[in-house]
Structures are given as structure tokens and as C-alpha cells.
Amino acid sequence: MDTRKRGSTSEMQVTSIRLEPELKERLREISGEQGYQTLIREVLWQFVEQQMGADEVRPYSVEDRRSPSHPPLLSVSDIRATFRAVAQQEERCAITGQVIRSQQFMGLGLTTTGELVPLSAQFSESVR
């Protein structure tokens, strides 16, 4: 299942949905720290991809993340762990959109979906 983020939560629209209390509680148990709203979004995206075909639903690519025209893709709650690193090429922080220059200290964030993403050094320090 491709669970890449398709936008920051601040860019999302609020939608009201009624769930039985038991269903909501079970979703919370299953989702753990990632949160049940993220789980619901991932399940809905998987459904859309299955219905339309994976080629028709294009998640943001690495190039999109580096582009200033695209908003940051992740929120703090999407990061499970951080690692120190040195950029080997110009990157863009996956949360703030801040440019990370080649040879600058940076962080690598392990997301709840298992993807490694670039993080600005200041941001990766604040997550710890």
C-alpha cells in the first residue's frame, strides 16, 4: 500500500463523518501513535488507488518535495524517529519546506509509513 502523504493537514478540508463509538475506539487502538485520522486517510487513498488504478493516482514524488511550489508534506506526528546526517545534495525539509544545502547537517526522519525523509537540522533537533 502506497501511503505517501498528499498534503499537510493545514491544507486539508475538514469533513464530518459519523462513526460508532466502538469503531472509533478500535481505529484508535489499531492506529497507535499515528492517529486514527491518518489511518482513515490512508485507507481511503488505498481504496481510491484500487478503484482508479495506481497509475492514475499520482502521489508526490521526491522531486515534488524539493520544489518550492509544493507545500510541506508531513506533520510532526508523521515522524517516528530522527537520525543525524549530512546532505550530499540540496534537499528540502519535508515538514517546513526549508532548503537544506549540500554538505549541511540535516536530519533524516523515519515516517510512520517507513519512508526516510529529509529534515532541517533545527527541526530534527526539536523532534527529540
User: φ, ψ for residue 100 (rounded to 5)?
Assistant: -115, 115
What pLDDT is stored for residue 118 in this prediction? 92
pTM for the model stands at 0.45
What pLDDT is stored for residue 125 in this prediction? 63
Which stretches of the chain score pLDDT less than 50? Answer: 1-4, 54-71
Ramachandran quadrant class, 43 (left: phi over 0; alpha: psi -120 to 50; beta: rest): alpha
Say how far apart CA 21 and CA 83 lie, in whole Å: 38
The alpha-helical segments, DSSP class H, found in the chain are: 21-31, 36-52, 62-66, 121-127
The answer to whether residues 111 and 104 touch, using CB atoms and an 8 Å cutoff, is no
What pLDDT is stored for residue 71 in this prediction? 46
For 49-70, b/e burial (b = at least 16 CB within 10 A) is beeeeeeeeeebeeeebbeeee
